[in-house]
Amino acid sequence: MRNSIARALDGLTRGELSVLDALVVAGQTTDPEVAAIVRAEPGYVAATLARLRDLAIAWDSPEGLRALSGVGDAMVGGPDAGVSGLRPRSAAPRPAAEIAEVLAALPSGARALLEHVIAEGGTAKTGSVRVGLRPEDTETPAELLVAHRLLVPGGSLMPGLLVVPGEVGLVVRGGRTTAEPVDVAPTVAAEERSPRLAASAALGAATDVVRRVGLLLEWWGTRPAAALRTAGLGVRELKAAATQLQVPEAEAALIVELAHEAGLAGTRADADGNPVWVPTSAFDEWAELSVAERWTVLARAWLSSPRLPSLVGERGPDQKPWNALTPELSAAGMPEAKAMTLAVLADLPEGHGLAAGTGLPSLVARVAWERPRRPRTRPDLVAWAVAEAAVLGLTGADVLAPYARVLLAGEDPAPVLAELLPPPVDHVLIQADLTAVAPGPLEPDLARRLQQVADVDSHGAATVYRFTPASVRRALDAGWTAAELHAFVLAASRTPVPQPLSYLIDDVVRSFGRLRVGLASSFVRSEDEAALAALVNHPKASGLGLQRIAPTVVVSSLPIDVLLLRLRELGLAPVVEGPDGVVRVGAPDALRARTPRTREVADAARAAARQAAQVVSAVATLREGDEAARSRPASASTAGGGVLSALREAIERGGAVLIGFTDNQGVVSERTVRPLVVEGGQLTAFDVDAEQDDPDAERRYAVHRISRVVPVS
Amino acid sequence: MQSDKSLLLEVDHPQAAECRKAIAPFAELERSPEHIHTYRLTPLGLWNARVAGHDAEQVVDTLLTWSRYPVPHALLVDVAETMARYGRLRLEKHPVHGLVLASSDRPVLEEVLRAKKIAGMLGARIDDDTVAVHPSERGNLKQALLKLGWPAEDYAGYVDGEAHPIALAEDGWTLRDYQRDAAESFWHGGSGVVVLPCGAGKTLVGAAAMAHAQATTLILVTNTVSARQWKDELVRRTSLTEDEIGEYSGTVKEIRPVTIATYQVITTKRKGVYPHLELFDARDWGLIVYDEVHLLPAPIFRMTADLQARRRIGLTATLVREDGREGDVFSLIGPKRYDAPWKDIEAQGWIAPADCIEVRVSLPDASRMSYATADPEERYRLAACTPEKLGVVRDLVARHAGQPTLVIGQYLEQLDELATALDAPVITGQTTVKERQRLFDGFRSGEIGLLVVSKVANFSIDLPTAEVAIQVSGSFGSRQEEAQRLGRLLRPGSPGPDGERKVARFYTVVARDTVDAEFAQNRQRFLAEQGYAYRIVDAEDLTGA
């Protein structure tokens, strides 16, 4: 019950909440009485009461109009949330005139205290205030207020508190619940924009966002983006996407999120089993749609998305930067913030956009008035909604685009948008520098085919393609023939095909396929061409999968051991050739099975073998130790002050020493070094051991960690 | 308008010319093939437009007016923001503190002051908006500020330099309109770069600039031959006499009111110092002319940084630098003051049209084998110098017998071989200057019809009679070189007896399926982007081409 009341209240404007607040203050009442105590147009109050009745927040009890019980408790927040701070009226309120008379006679201190209590929510702690005195016996302003029944004990509902009855508060506020009118929404600072600029900016952004989402996903389709463990997108991947899309990272984050929200991007495992971001199968369907339809999909996804791409790159509570596509990066209030923001923009006069500078704060204030009970991060949410709407092309120069208006009305914006978009062109202009310029958005089919045969040089409303040997080769790989390529460029180009392009195609075709790669398991080679011919044509060779690829080479799909046997069966005498071209001769393996043994014998044999092995290894270890001791440099280890002097001596000598030292992990190790200088308890030395990897391998060692210094020659 | 900030202009559109005019001030022409020209919005281009007095609103409006399709809002915002960056900081002359860096935008000034690279160049803070600048750091500061993305506008003015009367002697010839425009836009802008195609008469723009300056002038050129040409041209076209013009090169060291020095001599280093730096202080120069500014070597940039109080004019056919130091040209020499597309000037008849043909020869199997097994660094030389080219060159020369022809190459042995086979004189770096002069003069006068030249002839050598160039090898894929070599052919010759103008022929002979062909592709692309249609023919089909 409480939740549903709160939810109903969340949907009210500040004005509506103020009327409801007045209803709570008034207790059981009538419509005219509510209208009398709300500082608003009577019409507004009547309409609001009707709405409250519709929502069943207010109802007509037999005794009169009243708010649903529980509403009073649910009315939280200050004046910003439409809460006047007045307590409900007493069951039998004193007439206003009588209260006014008492108030007029109050000394200024008591009056100030009363106003203070009202401003603080209408209650005060009883404390040492004595209750039940006559006015002339009171000693403090509080006691005087109590004596005049301007403050009354809270009773069992609010023990220990003194309460200003609603009727008193009303008189103090001049008969109304608030000092300010409640039915006036803050105006949004707007200014007129050139319609051409606004339309151009919005359409430009709308086509760009569609293009970029497509570009991103096509790119991910060929080069998937690594996903983080949290399923987010790493900073490096985002940077790469931003570069690819030629947008700042913040905008790239929005495009990435948009692609995901529209269901066009998802994760899957790559060949190594790591999660990667790739386009979904829905992307293929989406890519088939017209630009306007594609935009509609994206815009709808954005409107209902709780994601906060604007936070990407900012630091979260744990001081780590937020990654795009991180699941936590969303706020339930975001879709509402977007809807409210756009609704307010939709209310602006035709051709008006947010004023520069003051527009955004006033928009925030307006949204705050519309939905006062969702306060916390609203300024940010609204600002992000405005910025993101501009990127999506819902607005241009902060003016709501006509097709966005249709979208907000719940209808299909695609036809309206399609009307405004430039018509697709069906040709390109090919130039001698091997570029093909599409002077506008290309028809999807042509664009797709052109993308196969040429690289994209620059994107935008128009597209510049460039033919390169690599791109032509790619087309050939995709199955195009030279004739098809020539015919295609001829048909697509409105201008004569420049000679260098025709030449390029022929040139690439000429070298295409010069190297051939195939799959074979084994080969047969012979200097005797006739022998090979005989083999290939042998009636029993059909099962060998033989293919003659050169006069002296035949390849086979059979593995080498099988082929060898079969060739021998055919009465031939092949030998095996190793990778180095050397002939390997070997008698064929004769088959043997393992000799079966009894268990005991096996165990005894194994034990004996184990023992023998242990002895051998123990002896070897001992000998190695002896050997090492013998080969170690003669002089004994040095300790304490001996270390320092030994190091100094080595420095003077310029010779190398073997030092034993304990590292930070407590591991004792040895290095052969050439000491350079001892200073401040630190030895700087040239690490002879590391010399091979790093010719100037200077290392520092703490002298107190060095346990031994042994000169080596 | 594309998302990579390039603009596509459909040339065949009836309004194309009008549109080109509208976008030219702020967009750099990147490619101009036959149908669609590509312009690009770059920060430098937008700042150049600011210098020329265009504001962001005009630019945005132009883009919206001329764009066929909606322009993404973000791009417009970006344009406005970029343009707003220029001029937030100003270099000014302060009556008390001398050179100061001033700003109306305090946060920008703060940001800049905090940059480590800048700190050493600035003096005391004078007030909230002004900081003193060490005068010697004027150039370095401008360079550093550009790197930070806050280019400063230089209001600090110039010293006049030592006055010296110079006038154009327009007897029997006049400055072409575009040359006059170029010189004037330079003069009004203070310092900057004039971009004109090869053969369009950049020397005269320099001379006109000198006539404006009326002061002693230092001219920096690429090499000695070019220095001589400058001298001849100045003597012929201005009131200057031979005695007033000095040459400062490896052989002669004269310092006169107008001195022409080569990059090479200035950048010669001895014992870690540049002994010829004194040249810059030798006189109170009023104007410094940088010929072929796209080739300006790094040490000259450093020296130029110290010359910010003098007027500077850069002359070039293209601002594209293979080393990407366009920003240094912008900050140290100055913004682009004048630019005209090649094709426009060609259409006006000031440079000759050209026909570019790539001839592909197939390597014989033996050569292919040695190519395939060669070290990668040897491959280009092997492919470029294949003897197969000799026959093709011989055919071509025979075909154009009677037309002055240049055979250009990179490798000396190859050139020598060609020269012997063709029985033609050869000019390389080893040829003495005197001999070079003699051969060039002979070529110009028509005595010599065929010259084999190495890359020494790439630059600034005026051979107006050349009609055919055959390129057999080059510095890998250098587009720069391609432009220069083609430029050799573009000086318009006098119309033939039938009134027909000469059409230059530019052949490139490359070996098929080798890096030679790959490099050629790179260079060809540049030609195509300049609007020169080219054809590729196989050597075997040459007879039909």
* pLDDT score at B500: 56
pLDDT of A7 higher than 60: yes
Domains B177-345 and B352-544 share a fold: yes
Res. A590 pLDDT band, cuts 50 70 90: confident
Residue A422: list chain B partners with CB under 8 A: 68-69
Mean pLDDT of A209-227: 86
Query: Greater confidence, A623 or B281?
Result: A623
Q: B300: which 2 tokens?
A: 């000259």
pLDDT of A236 higher than 80: yes
Helix, strand or coil, per DSSP, at residue A326: coil
Residue A203: list chain B partners with CB under 8 A: 69-70
Interface of B with A in 460-499 (CB under 8 A): none
Q: pLDDT tens for residues A511-551? A: 887 777 888 888 888 888 888 888 888 887 778 888 888 88
pLDDT of A473 higher than 70: yes
Residues 6+ apart with CB under 8 A from B306: B136, B139, B280
Rounded to whole angstroms, the Cα distance separating B489 from B467 reads 6
Contact across the interface for A200 and B67, Cβ inside 8 Å: yes
Per-domain residue ranges for chain B? Answer: 6-85, 89-154, 177-345, 352-544
Q: Of the ranges A193-197, A401-405, A609-613, which one carries the lowest mean pLDDT score?
A: A193-197
Res. B464 pLDDT band, cuts 50 70 90: low
The b/e string for A130-142 (b: 16+ C-beta within 10 A; e otherwise) is eeeeeeeebeebb
Chains A, B: CB contacts within 8 A come to 111
Select from A212, A354, A431, A472 the residue whose CB has the most chain B CBs within 10 Å, as the one to mutate to test that interface: A431
CATH number, domain B177-345? 3.40.50.300
Res. B497 pLDDT band, cuts 50 70 90: very low
Give the closest of B38, B70, B532 to A201, CB-based.
Answer: B70
Contact across the interface for A464 and B67, Cβ inside 8 Å: no
Residues 6+ apart with CB under 8 A from B78: B5
Q: Which of A36, A2, A175, A27 is nearest to A87 (CA)?
A: A27
State whether the Cα torsion A33-A34-A37-A40 is positive or negative. negative
Res. A569 pLDDT band, cuts 50 70 90: confident
Kindly state whether A207 is in contact with chain B, defined as any CB-CB distance less than 8 angstroms: yes
Kindly state whether A242 is in contact with chain B, defined as any CB-CB distance less than 8 angstroms: no
Residue of B nearest to A429 (CA): B35
CATH number, domain A641-711? 2.30.30.100
Q: pLDDT tens for residues B197-210? A: 766 778 888 888 88
Residue found by looking up tokens 């395939």 in the block: B372
Q: A73: which 2 tokens?
A: 């408790």
Percentage of residues of chain B with pLDDT beyond 90: 0
* pLDDT score at A338: 85
Helix, strand or coil, per DSSP, at residue B94: strand
Q: How far is B465 from chain A (nearest CA, A)?
A: 28
pLDDT of B542 higher than 60: yes
First-to-last alpha carbon distance for chain A, in angstroms, is: 91
Per-domain residue ranges for chain A? Answer: 2-172, 190-419, 429-511, 522-578, 604-632, 641-711
pLDDT of A635 higher than 50: no
Residue A354 contacts residue A395 (beta carbons within 8 Å): no
Res. A315 pLDDT band, cuts 50 70 90: confident
Contact across the interface for B36 and A437, Cβ inside 8 Å: yes
Residue of B nearest to A251 (CA): B74
Residue A201: list chain B partners with CB under 8 A: 70-73, 76
pLDDT, mean over chain A: 81
Contact across the interface for A461 and B69, Cβ inside 8 Å: yes
* pLDDT score at B478: 67
Contact across the interface for A205 and B72, Cβ inside 8 Å: yes
Mean pLDDT of A470-487: 86
pLDDT of A163 higher than 70: yes
Q: pLDDT tens for residues A262-293? A: 888 888 888 888 888 888 888 888 888 888 88
Rounded to whole angstroms, the Cα distance separating B300 from A486 reads 51
Res. A679 pLDDT band, cuts 50 70 90: confident
Kindly state whether B72 is in contact with chain A, defined as any CB-CB distance less than 8 angstroms: yes
Q: pLDDT tens for residues A174-192? A: 777 777 777 777 888 878 8
Query: Greater confidence, B527 or A657?
Result: A657
pLDDT of B128 higher than 60: yes
Res. B460 pLDDT band, cuts 50 70 90: low
* pLDDT score at A634: 46
Q: B412: which 2 tokens?
A: 């000396």
Percentage of residues of chain A with pLDDT beyond 70: 95
Residue A511: list chain B partners with CB under 8 A: 513
Residue A455 contacts residue A468 (beta carbons within 8 Å): yes
Contact across the interface for B525 and A433, Cβ inside 8 Å: yes
Interface of B with A in 511-540 (CB under 8 A): 513, 524-525, 528-529, 532-536
Q: How far is B1 from chain A (nearest CA, A)?
A: 7
pLDDT, mean over chain B: 77
Q: What is the ipTM of this complex?
A: 0.72
Residue B38: list chain A partners with CB under 8 A: 464
Give the closest of A200, A432, A462 to B33, CB-based.
Answer: A432
Kindly state whether A503 is in contact with chain B, defined as any CB-CB distance less than 8 angstroms: yes
Contact across the interface for B73 and A432, Cβ inside 8 Å: no
Mean pLDDT of A393-421: 84
Contact across the interface for A437 and B35, Cβ inside 8 Å: yes
**In the CATH hierarchy, which fold is given to the domain comprising B352-544?**
Rossmann fold (3.40.50)
Residue B536: list chain A partners with CB under 8 A: 499-500, 503
* pLDDT score at B459: 57
Kindly state whether A251 is in contact with chain B, defined as any CB-CB distance less than 8 angstroms: yes
Q: How far is B38 from chain A (nearest CA, A)?
A: 10
Kindly state whether A36 is in contact with chain B, defined as any CB-CB distance less than 8 angstroms: no
Q: Name the most confidently modeled range: A608-622, B367-381, B469-483.
A: A608-622
Q: How far is B73 from chain A (nearest CA, A)?
A: 5
Query: Greater confidence, A316 or A453?
Result: A453
Contact across the interface for A431 and B10, Cβ inside 8 Å: no
- DSSP letter at A461 equals S
Res. B545 pLDDT band, cuts 50 70 90: very low
Residue B31: list chain A partners with CB under 8 A: 433, 435
* pLDDT score at A666: 77
Residue of A nearest to B528 (CA): A433
Q: Number of helices (H) and strands (E), helices first, in chain B?
A: 22, 22
Residues 6+ apart with CB under 8 A from A222: none
Q: B64: which 2 tokens?
A: 């919206």
* Bridge pairing between strands A190-192 and A225-226: unpaired
Kindly state whether A390 is in contact with chain B, defined as any CB-CB distance less than 8 angstroms: yes
pLDDT of A119 higher than 70: yes
* pLDDT score at A628: 64
Q: How far is CA B544 from CA B539, B540, B541, in A?
A: 10, 9, 6
Residue A541 contacts residue A570 (beta carbons within 8 Å): yes
Residues 6+ apart with CB under 8 A from B235: B241, B242, B245
pLDDT of A677 higher than 80: yes
Q: pLDDT tens for residues B308-338? A: 667 888 888 776 666 667 777 777 777 777 7
Kindly state whether B544 is in contact with chain A, defined as any CB-CB distance less than 8 angstroms: no
Amino acid code (one letter) for A587: A
